[in-house]
């Protein structure tokens, strides 16, 4: 996935902003909200105004009323519509769902007649799938269309749909062949809602938008109302679900709700407490994953690689995140949220609390979404597991990944073996003789080390130390052989005090005394030490630096005791420290993601083969869904991590503390879940689950516990 947003999208965003800020938009929006009962009014005049400005279908081809832009334009459009308080449901159903299906699978007549009118909002559509007796099991629908002369006659009842009262026509799924299998006898129709025999009645809902009951009594339509081929409805529905379940709409709402909460907290004038600020940081980080998962689905749809499992998970992630945010408003703001204030902004969070239960039900209930992901990624149908989707690696990163994997099959000291393929020299700073490939390369290396359950913490400490020493003010007298040892992996850099000033003190003569925290085990070539007095460089000498080796929760570790070690003060600026720490946090996050992936693979293999009560564990939803959720979450965190590295390499804020906190929590949950699903076997001392459990416990706290990191992120 490409993290760059094209210039055309930035230009389009500016244009959308101008339209949305215009007085005419404000006037029409006021009319929508003016309904006395608080229910959403008729949004069509407002949509027609936006449609006339040409902004509603940016990613459609120009000949069908679009702008020919890529999917990122749709993302920014929806973010902006929702941020400006414009009701988005009818737009999403009509343009994004029905319109996009017509674009992908309609015939040329349907495209030419319907799409330009939908893009300009002169015509709007709704979806009628749900019936009183079906729901998640959509294929159980009972409404029928029977051939009659040169047309069809429709009878039945659709229910719980939104927006039928404001739609001109409906995409409706009916049974046309009761004799064939449940899935084969379904056909889609495009039916005008003013046709004789159609009756629409509102059903009040907890939320602002009403549901509707729609009766079809002997409704006669022609062959031209058939969408696709008779009997081919199910595959079109599946195709539509892949496109409908991008999650974008839910993400945009969650983002808006979170911004509204933050605004209300700001307006309060008091600095929110730690718990609230940490809550904000957590929701923001999760929302970033939602957006990236949604964008990945949209990118794949654009490239013709739609995948229903990927879409279903994006829908799950975005809707669950949005819902959690809406519910969190109660925690963050208290009961005031329940009382709608006079301003439009005051009403949004109260309405969100009533709307949010529906987001994990509409468009496919959360459990069903996870079930679909579970079938694709957890259940083993005999073939290989579907490969994890993720950001595309560039050719250099791809080669590096292969090279690291090859090294991991060799025997001998891993650090030295990595040195033979240029690690860590490839990513070390140029000022110290490295190739400065960037953090993106480091992410790949650490992900693979984690996956191999070879944490090799001394390698990351070396990279950290080298980053701290990267600058013109570094003492020139680091001996060349020490530097080359660090670069070729035969010795290591050590950073002491990364989590705060260490137990090491400086005496008046500049020597260091005291004991370090637990450190990765390796041959220390140099130490960068943070004390209360500042930073120091020590070239370890056995006479003054005593190394004590021990096992740190099963991981080889050392402590260095300084007994009057000569030290050189280091002029490490706050900015350099921040940058080196961010890089260290992202490398650590990559390692944890790799461990989590590996342990989930191991758990997947186990639950597919371990039989209890006559069937494999994977056939129980409580087992399969737990794993599928973690697998999908890992996909989201992988995107967040790669984007953070991409931002870091561009000197942008990478939110590294949040990313590491999220990945540390993910790895902890993955390792604990894998252990649980293995039962007693997971506790055997040398089992993979026990190894991963120990490694995650050490590595997920090495640069601070998740709680410390969230606090740092919220500062
Ligand atoms: C806000 C909103 C808007 C909607 N708009 C439309 C619309 O425009 N057009 C339309 O046709 N329909 C619409 N619907 C209906 C929607 O499609 C259905 O609600 C949805 O398919 C779920 O069906 P159900 O509500 O009957 O729940 P059921 O299928 O009865 O399921 C109830 C619960 O059981 C659990 N469950 C169900 N199946 C499984 C499973 N396989 N595994 C594990 N657990 C399961 C889930 O927790 C689920 O929430 C809308 C619904 C909402 C809430």
DSSP conformation letters of 607-639:
HHH-EETTEEGGGSHHHHHHHHHHHHHHHHHHH
> If we measure between CA atoms, which residue out of 466, 469, 704, 456 comes closest to residue 585?
704
561 confidence band (pLDDT: 50, 70, 90): very high
Whether residues 558 and 580 share a domain: the answer is: no
470 in contact with ligand 1, CB cutoff 6 A: no
The conformation of residue 553, written as its DSSP 8-state character, comes to T
pLDDT in tens, 180-203: 888 999 999 999 999 999 999 999
**Rounded Cα–Cα distance for residues 16 and 8 (Å):** 12
**Alpha-carbon torsion (420, 422, 425, 430), positive or negative:** positive
**Alpha-carbon torsion (326, 329, 335, 341), positive or negative:** negative
Residue range 619-646: average pLDDT?
A: 98
Whether residues 702 and 579 share a domain: the answer is: yes
Residue 1: per-residue pLDDT: 76
Whether residues 409 and 366 share a domain: the answer is: no
Closest residue CA from atom 26 of ligand 1: 135
* Structural domain contains residue 552: yes
Which of 365, 372, 620, 625 is the pocket-test mutation for ligand 1 (most atoms within 8 Å of CB)?
A: 365
Contact assessment for residue 601 and residue 385, using Cβ atoms and an 8 Å cutoff:
yes
Residue range 88-106: average pLDDT?
A: 95
Residue 343: per-residue pLDDT: 66
Residue 37: per-residue pLDDT: 65
The mean-pLDDT minimum among 37-51, 95-109, 294-308, 552-566 falls in 37-51
Q: Which residue has the higher pLDDT, 499 or 564?
A: 564
161 in contact with ligand 1, CB cutoff 6 A: yes
pLDDT in tens, 124-158: 999 999 999 999 999 999 999 999 999 999 999 99
Q: What are phi and psi of 464, to 5 degrees?
A: -65, -50
**Rounded Cα–Cα distance for residues 297 and 302 (Å):** 9
Closest residue CA from atom 5 of ligand 1: 161
The residue count for the chain: 715
Residue 674: per-residue pLDDT: 98
Contact assessment for residue 171 and residue 128, using Cβ atoms and an 8 Å cutoff:
yes
Contact assessment for residue 366 and residue 324, using Cβ atoms and an 8 Å cutoff:
no
Q: Of 58, 93, 119, which one is at a domain's C-terminal end?
A: 119
Whether residues 158 and 108 share a domain: the answer is: no
Residue 44: per-residue pLDDT: 96
Query: Would you state the structure tokens that stand for residue 625, as one six-digit string?
Result: 């869904």
Q: Which residue has the higher pLDDT, 684 or 476?
A: 684
- C-alpha of residue 290 to centroid of ligand 1, in Å: 21
237 in contact with ligand 1, CB cutoff 6 A: no
Residue range 603-632: average pLDDT?
A: 97
Whether residues 682 and 593 share a domain: the answer is: yes
478 in contact with ligand 1, CB cutoff 6 A: no
160 in contact with ligand 1, CB cutoff 6 A: yes
323 in contact with ligand 1, CB cutoff 6 A: no
Place of tokens 């902890």: 668
* Structural domain contains residue 446: yes
Residue 344: per-residue pLDDT: 60
Residue 347: per-residue pLDDT: 84
Give me the chain's average pLDDT, please: 94
pLDDT in tens, 318-373: 999 999 999 999 999 999 898 877 666 678 999 999 999 999 999 999 999 999 99
Q: Of 76, 92, 119, which one is at a domain's C-terminal end?
A: 119
For 561, the enclosing helix (H) or strand (E) is strand 555-566
Distances from the Cα of 86 to the Cα of 30, 31, 408, 411, 412, angstroms: 10, 11, 54, 61, 62
Whether residues 213 and 293 share a domain: the answer is: no
Whether residues 154 and 211 share a domain: the answer is: yes
**Alpha-carbon torsion (467, 470, 473, 474), positive or negative:** positive
* Structural domain contains residue 385: no
How would you list the strands of the sheet with 492-496, edge to edge? 492-496, 524-531, 534-538, 568-570
Closest residue CA from atom 48 of ligand 1: 365
Using the atom order of ligand 1, give the atom closest to the CA of residue 158.
11
Residue range 478-504: average pLDDT?
A: 91
Contact assessment for residue 325 and residue 258, using Cβ atoms and an 8 Å cutoff:
yes
Closest residue CA from atom 3 of ligand 1: 362
Using the atom order of ligand 1, give the atom closest to the CA of residue 207.
1
**Which residue spans within 118-275 are E strands per DSSP?**
125-128, 144-148, 151-162, 169-175, 186-192, 198-203, 211-222, 226-227
Q: Which residue has the higher pLDDT, 446 or 266?
A: 446
Contact assessment for residue 450 and residue 594, using Cβ atoms and an 8 Å cutoff:
yes
224 confidence band (pLDDT: 50, 70, 90): very high
404 in contact with ligand 1, CB cutoff 6 A: no
127 in contact with ligand 1, CB cutoff 6 A: yes
- C-alpha of residue 134 to centroid of ligand 1, in Å: 9
Residue 385: per-residue pLDDT: 60
> If we measure between CA atoms, which residue out of 403, 532, 526 comes closest to residue 458?
526
- C-alpha of residue 69 to centroid of ligand 1, in Å: 33
628 in contact with ligand 1, CB cutoff 6 A: no
- C-alpha of residue 40 to centroid of ligand 1, in Å: 22
The conformation of residue 391, written as its DSSP 8-state character, comes to P
**Alpha-carbon torsion (485, 486, 492, 497), positive or negative:** positive
243 in contact with ligand 1, CB cutoff 6 A: no
Question: In percent, how much of the chain has pLDDT > 90?
Answer: 87
* Structural domain contains residue 47: yes
pLDDT at 389 over 80: no
Residue 380: per-residue pLDDT: 87
pLDDT at 36 over 60: no
477 confidence band (pLDDT: 50, 70, 90): confident
* Structural domain contains residue 113: yes
Closest residue CA from atom 1 of ligand 1: 358
Whether residues 257 and 368 share a domain: the answer is: yes
Residue 501: per-residue pLDDT: 76
362 in contact with ligand 1, CB cutoff 6 A: yes
Residue 318: per-residue pLDDT: 98
Q: Respond yes or no on whether the N-terminal peptide bond of residue 472 is cis (omega within 30° of 0).
A: no
Residue 38: per-residue pLDDT: 64
pLDDT in tens, 152-164: 999 999 999 998 9
Residue 499: per-residue pLDDT: 82
Distances from the Cα of 317 to the Cα of 138, 159, 485, 655, angstroms: 22, 26, 45, 20
Residue span of the structural domain in which 185 resides? 125-236
DSSP string for 440-461 = HHHHHHHHHHHHTT---HHHHH
Q: What are phi and psi of 538, to 5 degrees?
A: -125, 130
Rounded to whole angstroms, the maximal C-alpha distance in the chain is 104
- C-alpha of residue 423 to centroid of ligand 1, in Å: 51
- C-alpha of residue 369 to centroid of ligand 1, in Å: 11
pLDDT in tens, 540-558: 999 999 999 999 999 999 9
* Structural domain contains residue 466: no
Residue range 423-451: average pLDDT?
A: 94
CATH assignment at residue 349: 1.20.140.10
Residue range 201-209: average pLDDT?
A: 93
Residue 289: per-residue pLDDT: 98
Residue 306: per-residue pLDDT: 86
Count of structural domains within the chain: 5
Helix (H) and strand (E) counts in the chain: 23, 19
Q: Of 65, 96, 119, which one is at a domain's C-terminal end?
A: 119
For 303, the enclosing helix (H) or strand (E) is none
* Structural domain contains residue 463: no
Sorted by sequence, the CB contacts under 8 Å of residue 561 that are 6+ apart come out as: 514, 515, 516, 545, 546, 547, 548
Residue range 463-478: average pLDDT?
A: 86
Q: What are phi and psi of 471, to 5 degrees?
A: 170, 160
Question: In percent, how much of the chain has pLDDT > 70?
Answer: 97
pLDDT at 57 over 60: yes
Q: C-alpha angle 7/8/9, rounded to 5°?
A: 90
Whether residues 110 and 146 share a domain: the answer is: no
* Structural domain contains residue 518: yes
Whether residues 314 and 371 share a domain: the answer is: yes
162 in contact with ligand 1, CB cutoff 6 A: yes
CATH assignment at residue 564: 2.40.110
């Amino acid at each position: 996935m490409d993290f760059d947003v094209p210039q055309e999208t930035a230009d389009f965003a500016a244009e959308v902003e101008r339209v949305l800020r215009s007085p005419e938009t404000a006037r029409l929006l006021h009319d929508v909200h003016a309904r006395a009962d608080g229910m959403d009014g008729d949004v069509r005049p407002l949509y027609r105004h936006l449609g006339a400005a040409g902004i509603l279908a940016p990613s459609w081809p120009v000949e069908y009323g679009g702008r020919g832009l890529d999917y990122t334009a749709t993302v920014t459009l929806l973010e902006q519509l929702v941020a400006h308080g414009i009701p988005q449901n009818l737009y999403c159903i009509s343009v994004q769902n029905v319109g996009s299906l017509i674009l992908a699978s309609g015939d040329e007549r349907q495209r030419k007649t319907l799409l330009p009118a939908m893009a300009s909002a002169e015509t709007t559509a709704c979806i009628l799938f749900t019936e009183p007796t079906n729901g998640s099991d959509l294929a159980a629908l009972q409404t029928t269309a029977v051939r009659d002369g040169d047309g069809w006659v429709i009878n039945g009842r659709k229910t719980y749909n939104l927006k039928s009262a404001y739609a001109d026509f409906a995409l409706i799924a009916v049974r046309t062949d009761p004799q064939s299998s449940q899935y084969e006898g379904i056909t889609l129709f495009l039916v005008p809602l003013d046709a004789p025999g159609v009756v629409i009645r509102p059903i009040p809902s907890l939320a602002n938008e009403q549901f509707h009951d729609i009766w079809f009594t002997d409704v006669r339509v022609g062959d031209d109302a058939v969408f696709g081929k008779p009997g081919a409805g199910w595959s079109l529905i599946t195709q539509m679900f892949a496109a409908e379940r991008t999650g974008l709409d839910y993400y945009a709402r969650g983002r808006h709700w979170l911004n509204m909460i933050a605004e209300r907290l700001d307006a309060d004038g008091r600095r929110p407490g730690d718990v609230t600020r940490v809550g904000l940081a957590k929701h923001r980080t999760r929302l970033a994953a939602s957006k990236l998962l949604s964008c990945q689905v949209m990118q794949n749809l654009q490239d013709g690689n739609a995948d229903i499992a990927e879409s279903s998970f994006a829908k799950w992630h975005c809707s669950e995140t949005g819902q959690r945010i809406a519910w969190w408003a109660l925690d963050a703001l208290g009961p005031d949220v329940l009382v709608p204030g006079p301003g439009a902004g005051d009403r949004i969070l109260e309405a969100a609390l009533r709307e949010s239960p529906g987001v994990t039900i509409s468009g496919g209930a959360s459990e069903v979404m996870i079930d679909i992901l579970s079938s694709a990624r957890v259940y083993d149908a005999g073939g290989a597991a579907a490969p994890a989707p993720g950001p595309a690696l560039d050719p250099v990163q791809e080669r590096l990944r292969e090279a690291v994997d090859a090294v991991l099959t060799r025997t001998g000291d891993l650090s030295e073996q990595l040195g033979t393929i240029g690690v860590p020299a490839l990513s070390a700073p140029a000022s110290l003789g490295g190739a400065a490939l960037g953090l993106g390369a480091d992410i790949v290396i650490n992900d693979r080390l984690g996956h191999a359950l070879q944490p090799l913490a001394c390698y990351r400490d070396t990279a950290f130390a080298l980053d701290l020493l990267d600058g013109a003010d570094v003492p020139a007298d680091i001996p060349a052989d020490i530097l080359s040892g660090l670069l070729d992996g035969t010795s290591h850099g050590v950073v002491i005090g990364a989590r705060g000033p260490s137990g090491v003190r400086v005496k008046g003569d500049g020597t260091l005394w005291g004991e370090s925290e637990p450190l990765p085990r390796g041959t220390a070539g140099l130490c960068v030490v943070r004390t209360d007095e500042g930073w120091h460089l020590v070239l370890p000498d056995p006479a003054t630096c005593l190394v004590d080796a021990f096992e740190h929760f099963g991981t080889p570790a050392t402590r260095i005791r300084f007994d009057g070690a000569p030290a050189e003060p280091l002029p490490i600026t706050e900015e350099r420290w921040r940058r080196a720490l961010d890089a260290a946090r992202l490398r650590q996050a990559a390692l944890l993601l790799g461990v989590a992936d590996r342990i989930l693979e191991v758990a997947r293999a186990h639950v597919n083969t371990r039989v209890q009560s006559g069937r494999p564990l994977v056939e129980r939803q409580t087992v399969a869904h737990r794993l599928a959720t973690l697998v999908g979450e890992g996909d989201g965190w992988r995107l967040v991590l790669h984007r953070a590295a991409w931002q870091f390499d561009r000197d942008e804020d990478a939110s590294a503390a949040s990313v590491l906190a999220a990945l540390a929590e993910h790895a902890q949950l993955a390792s604990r879940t894998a252990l649980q699903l293995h039962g007693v076997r997971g506790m055997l001392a040398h089992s993979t689950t026990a190894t991963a459990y120990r490694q995650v416990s050490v590595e997920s706290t090495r640069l601070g516990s998740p709680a410390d990191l969230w606090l740092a992120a919220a500062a």
